[in-house]
Structure 1
Amino acid sequence: MVKKIITLFSLLLIMTEMNAQKQNIQNAINSLKEKDVATAKKYIDEAVANPATNTNAKAWMLRGIINQAIIIPSEYLPKLQFILDEKMYEIDLASANSLKGANPNAFEEAVNSYNKSLSYDKKYSKQEVMPLITAMVLLGFNSGINEMNSSKFNEAAQSFQNVLKVAQIDEGKPFKGEAGFDTLFTNCKLYQGNCYYQIGKEDDAIPLLEEAAKNPITQKADVYVMLTDIYERKGNTAKWSEVMKEAKAKYPNDKRLINNEINYYLKLGKGEESIAKLKEGIAAEPNKADLHIILGQTYYNMATPKDEKGNAKPAPANAKELEQNALKSFSKAIELDPKNPYPQFYSGILFFNTAKDLTDEMNKADDKKYKEIEPKRNEQLNLAIPFLEKAKTFTEAEGLNDGNREMYKQILSGLSQAYMITDKAEKSTEMQNLLNKQK
């Protein structure tokens, strides 16, 4: 009889505790109605920590929602609406945002809570879950894009990682059959790989970029540019050759890949070998402007060698001859393709860089020598300006893209400096203003 009384008393305690914790869930909901998110969070954290309700799907779902509300900026959305047990609720985001400082891991806590909730309720309502996790995906993705465009690559990489964590909620089942998510998640991996590349985390970047190179959604020349650059820096000749061969087969005319290959062989001291191969190609296709551009670049790179860190090395004895050969090649390319911005740009940069070298000499010279060099410097700038102006016009005509955007910035910068030195202040300001608008 005593044992039965004890057993009944124990069961009564368990039921009492369970009811108390269920009341915590309701108290959390009531606190949200009163815009008291801090108290709601306290109640729901107690509920999921207690053995009586730590497998309650509703409790974990509500905890996920509260943590999600903490990270959604109230300036974009005043309230977060959600459905729970087929009832509509809302959270005041200004109140929720005030808890962000005390909850720096709110995004991860939201993801973990949703995972727990769905694991405890395999018959969950997709109608209730999808709006919430979709909002998390879009928040993380847009944050990552904005951070990446602002060169905040560490933060962007984390934002994209957050999105990929959301993608794995319940092993990705909520997103199956939902249009657009496969593409978004695939792009997340590419962008995360780009961020790691930008901050020098090459070992983290490689698997993401190699996956991107194999996926039709993200397969683009940019990926191969990054991969060849990484393998070159690592000194992995076999992988560099493998990736470059694949890249050239898919994007034979991409200027960045062409430059990477030229520079790679030049660093290995194989400039003459590159020129011989290019001349063979020109003999077979004499009217192909791109081959003449590449030949010109090769001559110029040989005339102005650089070390692995990009610092100038001593010029060879035949540097002037190599520069003249470069100009002849660019001139031939312009003849074959008059509206191609690249030979115009490279010709202009050659004269501009010569002017820059003369400016460096002027800064070290006495007054007499300074005045002797100045007209020679200005002559080079006046030779550069028409080429850069045409390069600007033709680049704008074809439209800015990932392949020519960096060149366009260099054109604007070169023109701004050249105009300023040659007493064309208004034009210089115009170019600088255009440059400032570029991301």
Structure 2
Amino acid sequence: MKKVLLSMLFLGAATYANAQKSEVTKAKNAWTVAKFATNGKQPLDATLKTLEDGVKTTDNAIANEKSKDMPEAWSYRALFASRIAFVDTVNVQNAIANEKIAEDAITKGRALDTKGAEKENFTEAEQTLNNALRNRAIVAYNKKDFKSALEYFNEITAKNPQDTSTYVNAGVTAKQLENYPEMVKNFNKAIDLNYKDSESLYSEVVATTFAQLKDTVAGSALLEKAIAKYPEDKYFIGMQTDLYIKQGNVAKSQEMLTKLIAKDDKNAAYQYAMGDTYYKQALDLQVKRNKIDAKNKKEFETVTTKMTGFIDQALPYYKKAYELDPKMTAALENLKIIYAFKNDTVNYEATKKLLDAQKK
């Protein structure tokens, strides 16, 4: 009688354990079905129903003492929940709730998976969560919900601190919000990580630091870094030239450009910038001359002479810049203005003709 009883107890325990394992098996089978059923060819509500049913199969497995420590129960839970987080672009709260379920499942499951048997599933779930968050950020951006988009992009960079493209996306979104400190922070991070188009990011960061943040010290430091990295960029060179001139330090600007030209006299940007150091002084004098009383002819002539001198000094540099780079419209524009000022009709008409041809 005891023997029969023990046999019955043993059989009952085995059946019970297998029953719990079957919950995990159900989850595995459900995932196989879900992968084919969630290929984007069926309506969203049907897709979500399939995935939510899959999550329910794991509810039983993780709730039972016999199977709650099985890594598979958690890995498939992570797969189902992460896929819901990815596909549900309508109900953001539901997507975020399932993101949390998946994250918890990954954490719990990896701790249990000492042999690494479920490593691939956890990695897939994690990647799906990353894609879900990116998708959520882009959807929010396209809906012009820039505040939410920035939060999501920042969340991505916090989880993936080497992701340069997302730092750029965060910076672009912050700019839409006119949150310039946040924009500069994210663009600078992308630059530090050697983003492929750091030259454009430097342009944005430098200009914003000067214009919107009104931080001349930080802007100057960034400008120096930009020029060190992109010494031939005419935008940076021109900006530094402007900065020196505004600071009343034309000599410093010309000293810098003289060294650059000595190193590479075939560089059109250097020639153009040197021309600017003279031309912009002439423009400043023109403003001063316009304020002179018409009766004060002597002062008017004195200023005009100085102005003409600066224009004459700028002229050969602009001509050289155009000679080196026939597509440099800015050089032609300034040459046209100079020839008009000097009443040089022949060169004015020739330059105007070149400009008109470029604009066609």
| TM range, smaller chain | 0.5 to 0.7
Would you say the 8 A contact 2:86–2:135 is kept in 1?
Answer: no
Q: Is the aligned partner of 1:164 residue 2:157?
A: yes
Counterpart for residue 245 of structure 1? 224
Distance across 2 between alignment mates of 1:107 and 1:230: 36
Equivalence map 1:20-35=2 (5 Å):
29=30
CA drift of 1:263 comes to: 2.9
Equivalence map 1:21-420=2 (5 Å):
29=30, 36-40=46-50, 44=55, 52=63, 57=74, 58-71=76-89, 100=90, 103-105=91-93, 108-122=96-110, 123=113, 125-134=118-127, 137=130, 157=150, 160-161=153-154, 163-164=156-157, 167=160, 185-197=163-175, 199-217=177-195, 220-233=198-211, 234-266=213-245, 268-270=246-248, 272-273=250-251, 276-277=254-255, 280-281=258-259, 284=262, 287-288=265-266, 289-302=268-281, 315-317=287-289, 321=308, 325-335=313-323, 337=324, 339=325, 341-342=327-328, 344-348=329-333, 351=336, 383-387=351-355, 389=357, 415=359
CA drift of 1:226 comes to: 3.0
The change in CA–CA distance for 1:297 and 1:208 in structure 2 (over 3 A counts) is same
Counterpart for residue 76 of structure 1? none
Distance across 2 between alignment mates of 1:147 and 1:236: 31
Distance across 1 between alignment mates of 2:262 and 2:48: 74
- Larger mean Cα displacement after TM superposition, 344-353 or 247-256: 344-353
Can you give the 5+ residue segments of structure 2 that lack an aligned partner in the other structure?
1-15, 290-302, 341-346
Distance across 2 between alignment mates of 1:151 and 1:293: 41
Q: Secondary structure at the match of 1:341?
A: coil
Distance across 2 between alignment mates of 1:191 and 1:353: 43
Would you say the 8 A contact 1:231–1:237 is kept in 2?
Answer: yes
Counterpart for residue 12 of structure 1? none
The change in CA–CA distance for 1:277 and 1:383 in structure 2 (over 3 A counts) is same
Distance across 2 between alignment mates of 1:242 and 1:328: 31
The change in CA–CA distance for 1:148 and 1:303 in structure 2 (over 3 A counts) is farther
Can you give the 5+ residue segments of structure 1 that lack an aligned partner in the other structure?
1-14, 72-99, 169-181, 306-313, 356-378, 391-414, 416-426, 428-439
Distance across 2 between alignment mates of 1:280 and 1:381: 31
Distance across 2 between alignment mates of 1:148 and 1:382: 49
The change in CA–CA distance for 1:325 and 1:142 in structure 2 (over 3 A counts) is farther
The change in CA–CA distance for 1:52 and 1:236 in structure 2 (over 3 A counts) is same
**Rg (Cα) greater in structure:** 2
The change in CA–CA distance for 1:115 and 1:238 in structure 2 (over 3 A counts) is same
Would you say the 8 A contact 1:111–1:165 is kept in 2?
Answer: no
What is the number of residues matched between the two proteins?
Answer: 292
Distance across 2 between alignment mates of 1:327 and 1:197: 39
Q: Secondary structure at the match of 1:252?
A: coil
CA drift of 1:160 comes to: 3.9
CA drift of 1:115 comes to: 1.4
The change in CA–CA distance for 1:108 and 1:155 in structure 2 (over 3 A counts) is same
TM normalised by structure 2 equals 0.58
Q: Secondary structure at the match of 1:270?
A: coil
Deviations 1:292-351 (A, max 9, x none): 21022344545567xxxxxxxx9343697456654442102234x2x4533x43323674
Distance across 1 between alignment mates of 2:82 and 2:152: 18
Distance across 2 between alignment mates of 1:147 and 1:277: 50
* Identity within the alignment, %: 15
1:117 corresponds to which letter in structure 2? A
Would you say the 8 A contact 1:156–1:195 is kept in 2?
Answer: yes
CA drift of 1:39 comes to: 4.2
Q: Secondary structure at the match of 2:102?
A: helix
CA drift of 1:389 comes to: 4.0
2:201 corresponds to which letter in structure 1? V
The change in CA–CA distance for 1:107 and 1:296 in structure 2 (over 3 A counts) is farther
The change in CA–CA distance for 1:353 and 1:227 in structure 2 (over 3 A counts) is farther
Distance across 2 between alignment mates of 1:271 and 1:246: 20
Would you say the 8 A contact 2:84–2:95 is kept in 1?
Answer: no
- Larger mean Cα displacement after TM superposition, 142-151 or 273-282: 142-151
